[in-house]
Every structure is written in structure tokens, then in C-alpha cells.
């Protein structure tokens, strides 16, 4: 691969969430293989760390031609519309063909006055990448077959949290979590509203005492998780507190403004029980719903109570039942999400919260909720 093409591939790899791709030539790679392995292409992607289901690819056989790579990219849905109308004149387009550059395919406007050529990647999200089609396919297959619940080395900017309503019911767990802490000075221009709010609270609680030299900002998220089912995650506003104390507790106003209550199924035939960790905002949120089908229960983390068995009264002709209240399921979910976000990722960028934190978070939420039988590369293509 030429140096310029490799730099462009690195840029696309960074966009897709891969730190680098191989620059080894066919001959160099085959010399390093055993005689038995030389019958296979060096582009065969190992699947020992892949997802539960990975669709076969043209890369599993030999080095694909540009036409074969384009056929698979079209089948997956990454390239769309190259057989439609000309983007300039809305006329007909020719069949894909090679032109000047090896590994690329172009379609040409059939109007004899124009005859403008378009790279087939023009009709995809990779417009302007200048990557060869086999290399682009290699990149996508490698990315899709990597372990989806381990974070890549750079930001996964493609994966976003879908904002569809998830009407959850049954045993639900609600909790807030701090993913990072940021140190904020009093003169930080990006946090002036938060600094003024923190100063008002400080003067009301500790009048006469000197104000802190800096503030500690907690980057918080809040979510509701159905046990062994879907999860809805929302980003809370960053709240500043003096350095030292525990993270701020989520308030009823914050939960109400987050819209989480709209994801709970309040139909009469759907009984829901919301478990929390002792924060008073969650029972208040359930009370504000005013639905008899939604109730709440909680443990007290401040008293080191993390789970409690609660007996349920049943009719005389049935066995006694019980359930375990607590937030053990969503706490484990937060821990897995925290492990997904690289520890080396800075919490601040240009005096504000690093947006890559949220990209990693939303990438994890999206990947976690994919069905086990979902083909990862097809799920990526569906977003394009």
C-alpha cells in the first residue's frame, strides 16, 4: 500500500475504531506462513475473539478483486445508489469499471456532454477516503470480527445510541453513575454556569467560609435496566462539588428531565417494580407517574445494604414467593461499561468534557443490546 493510501486508511481506521491495519505485502506475508497455511490468503481474519455469529466473507477465500469487494459491500449495505441516477444531472450511470487507479471502481455519467466519473465509495459514508475496495472490506471485516465488548484503541465514532422508546416492565433497576471526574477552575469559560451554581450552593450551606480554589465535576450518567433485558442510558448535566466529598446524588428534577420515566410501560396489565439504591428521587419518580401498575423498592447503600430478600404475599393455594431487591444488575452493567472506556482516555479536552467519553459509552450501550445472533458487520451497515 502506498504511503499516502496508508495514511488515508489510518484516518478511516481511526474513524471506525481501529488503531492500524497491516501493510504487509502478499509475498512477505506468505513467506512467514507454514506450507499448509500458504494455501490460504493472509487476509483470513481469525475469529477466536469474534462475536457469537459472523457471516462468511470474500476475505475468507483469496484476496478479493475490486469487483468482488464491491459486490460484498453492496450486499451488506455499505454502498448504496451507485446504480441509480447521476448525482450531477440525474441521468443514467454506467456499470462500475476500473479507471487509472488500481483497486478502485468508478461509474460514469452516460450523458455524452458530461461523462463525469464517480468513485463507487461516493455512494457511501466512506466518500473521500480513497481506500482500495479490498482494503476497505478488509478493514470492515476485521472491525466486525473483533471482540465487540472490548473497546478499540481509538474512539468508535460510528456507534451511536438509538433513541427508540423501549417500553420496559417487570423488575427494573434505576441508578446513576459517575464515569469520570474533571477538575474545573473558577475561570474556566466552558463551566461558568456550573461554577455560579456551585458558588450559590456553597454560600447557602457554608456562609462566611472561603470558597474553594477549584471544583470537582462529576461526569454522570443515569439509566434504567430491566433485569436480563434492555437498558436505557441518559447523560446527566455535569455538577460541580467541592473537592473531597462523595458524588452528588441524582435529584428528582434531573430524573424527570431525563425522560427515563417515559420508557416504563404503565399499562394496567404490565406490573413493574423499580429497584433503587436509596436515593429518594427514584420513589418520587414512581409516585409522580401515578400508576398503580408501577411500584418501587430500595436498599440503602449508605448502610452497606446492597441486596435484600422480600417476601411476597400470595394466595393460600399457592406457594410463597419472594424477590431480591437491589441494584446488582445495573451496578454490574456500569462496571462493564467502565471497563469498555479506556483508562488512558483523558476526561477533558480543550477545557470541556471529552466528547469521546460519550462516544465510547454510547458505543457500548449499542453493542451490548445487539442480539447474540446479530451479525455485527450487518448491524454496522444498517446504520449507514
Q: What is the pLDDT of residues 255-277, one digit of tens each?
A: 999 888 888 888 877 888 999 98
Q: Is residue 162 part of a domain?
A: no
Name the burial class of residue 313, with classes exposed (0-12), middle (13-18) and buried (19+) by CB atoms within 10 angstroms of its CB.
exposed
For residue 284, what pLDDT band results from cuts at 50, 70 and 90? very high
Residue 164 has pLDDT above 70, yes or no: no
- Give yes or no: residues 98 and 131 share one domain: yes
Of the ranges 48-57, 174-183, 269-278, which one carries the lowest mean pLDDT score?
48-57
Residue 151 has pLDDT above 80, yes or no: no
Residue 7 has pLDDT above 70, yes or no: no
- Give yes or no: residues 183 and 311 share one domain: yes
- Give yes or no: residues 179 and 90 share one domain: no
Q: Is residue 125 part of a domain?
A: yes
* Domain boundary residue, one of 145, 180, 210: 145
Q: What is the pLDDT of residue 265?
A: 85
- Give yes or no: residues 109 and 237 share one domain: no
Q: What is the pLDDT of residue 56?
A: 67
Among 163-167, 257-261, 371-375, the range with the most confident prediction by mean pLDDT is 257-261
Q: What share of the chain is helix, strand, coil (3-state, %, to 5)?
A: 35, 20, 45
Residue 299 has pLDDT above 70, yes or no: yes
Q: What is the pLDDT of residue 48?
A: 35
Overall average pLDDT of the 198-202 stretch: 90
Q: Is residue 152 part of a domain?
A: no
Q: Is residue 161 part of a domain?
A: no
Dist. CA 180–CA 193, nearest whole Å: 20
Mean pLDDT of the chain: 76
* Domain boundary residue, one of 145, 160, 192: 145
- Give yes or no: residues 141 and 182 share one domain: no
- What whole-number percentage of the chain has pLDDT above 70? 74
Dist. CA 368–CA 148, nearest whole Å: 8
Q: What is the pLDDT of residue 60?
A: 61
What pTM was computed for the model? 0.63
* Domain boundary residue, one of 145, 162, 196: 145
Q: What is the pLDDT of residue 4?
A: 39
- Give yes or no: residues 48 and 94 share one domain: yes
Dist. CA 330–CA 277, nearest whole Å: 11
Overall average pLDDT of the 107-127 stretch: 82
Q: Is residue 305 part of a domain?
A: yes
Q: Is residue 242 part of a domain?
A: yes
- Give yes or no: residues 267 and 339 share one domain: yes
Higher pLDDT, 79 or 90: 79
Closest by CA to 216, choosing from 188, 241, 186, 189, is 241
Residue 160 has pLDDT above 50, yes or no: no
- Give yes or no: residues 215 and 130 share one domain: no
- Give yes or no: residues 241 and 121 share one domain: no
- Give yes or no: residues 121 and 20 share one domain: yes
Q: Is residue 160 part of a domain?
A: no
Residue 65, CA distances (Å) to 22, 71, 80 in order: 18, 10, 19
- Give yes or no: residues 176 and 116 share one domain: no
Which residue range forms the structural domain that includes residue 246? Answer: 170-383
Higher pLDDT, 275 or 142: 275
- Give yes or no: residues 136 and 176 share one domain: no
Q: What is the pLDDT of residue 28?
A: 36
Higher pLDDT, 65 or 152: 65
How many domains does the structure of the chain reveal? 2
Q: Is residue 155 part of a domain?
A: no
Residue 39 has pLDDT above 50, yes or no: no
Residue 378 has pLDDT above 60, yes or no: yes
Q: Cell triple for residue 295? A: 411500584
Amino acid at each position: 500500500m502506498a504511503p499516502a493510501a496508508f495514511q488515508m486508511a489510518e484516518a478511516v481506521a481511526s474513524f471506525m475504531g481501529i488503531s492500524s491495519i497491516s501493510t504487509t505485502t502478499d509475498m512477505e506475508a506468505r513467506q512467514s506462513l507454514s506450507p499448509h497455511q500458504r494455501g490460504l490468503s493472509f487476509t483470513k481474519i481469525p475469529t477466536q475473539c469474534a462475536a457469537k455469529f459472523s457471516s462468511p466473507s470474500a476475505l475468507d477465500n483469496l484476496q478479493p478483486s475490486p469487483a468482488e469487494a464491491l459486490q460484498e459491500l453492496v450486499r451488506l449495505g455499505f454502498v448504496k445508489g451507485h446504480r441509480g441516477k447521476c448525482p450531477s444531472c440525474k441521468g443514467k450511470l454506467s456499470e462500475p469499471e476500473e479507471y487509472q487507479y488500481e483497486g478502485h471502481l468508478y461509474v460514469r455519467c452516460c450523458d455524452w456532454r458530461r461523462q463525469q466519473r464517480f468513485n463507487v465509495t461516493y455512494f457511501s459514508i466512506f466518500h473521500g477516503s480513497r481506500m482500495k475496495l479490498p482494503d476497505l472490506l478488509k478493514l470492515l471485516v476485521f472491525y466486525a470480527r473483533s471482540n465487540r465488548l472490548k473497546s478499540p484503541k481509538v474512539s468508535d465514532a460510528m456507534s451511536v445510541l438509538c433513541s427508540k422508546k423501549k417500553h420496559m416492565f417487570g423488575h427494573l433497576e434505576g441508578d446513576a453513575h459517575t464515569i469520570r471526574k474533571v477538575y474545573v477552575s473558577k475561570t474556566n469559560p466552558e463551566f461558568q454556569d456550573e461554577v455560579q451554581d456551585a458558588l450559590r450552593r456553597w454560600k447557602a450551606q457554608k456562609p462566611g467560609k472561603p470558597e474553594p480554589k477549584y471544583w470537582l465535576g462529576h461526569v454522570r450518567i443515569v439509566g434504567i435496566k430491566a433485569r436480563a433485558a434492555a437498558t436505557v442510558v441518559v447523560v446527566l448535566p455535569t455538577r460541580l462539588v467541592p473537592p473531597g466529598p462523595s458524588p452528588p446524588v441524582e435529584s428528582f428534577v434531573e430524573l424527570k428531565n431525563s425522560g427515563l420515566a417515559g420508557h416504563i410501560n404503565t399499562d394496567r396489565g404490565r406490573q413493574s417494580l423499580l429497584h433503587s439504591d436509596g436515593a429518594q428521587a427514584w420513589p418520587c419518580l414512581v409516585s409522580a407517574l401515578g400508576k398503580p401498575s408501577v411500584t418501587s423498592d430500595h436498599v440503602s447503600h449508605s448502610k452497606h445494604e446492597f441486596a435484600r430478600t422480600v417476601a411476597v404475599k400470595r394466595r393460600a393455594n399457592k406457594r410463597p414467593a419472594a424477590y431480591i431487591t437491589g441494584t446488582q444488575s445495573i451496578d454490574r452493567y456500569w462496571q462493564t461499561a467502565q471497563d469498555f472506556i479506556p483508562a488512558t482516555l483523558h476526561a477533558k479536552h480543550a477545557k470541556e468534557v471529552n466528547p469521546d467519553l460519550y462516544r465510547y459509552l454510547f458505543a457500548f450501550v449499542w453493542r451490548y443490546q445487539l442480539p447474540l445472533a446479530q451479525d455485527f458487520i450487518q448491524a454496522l451497515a444498517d446504520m449507514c
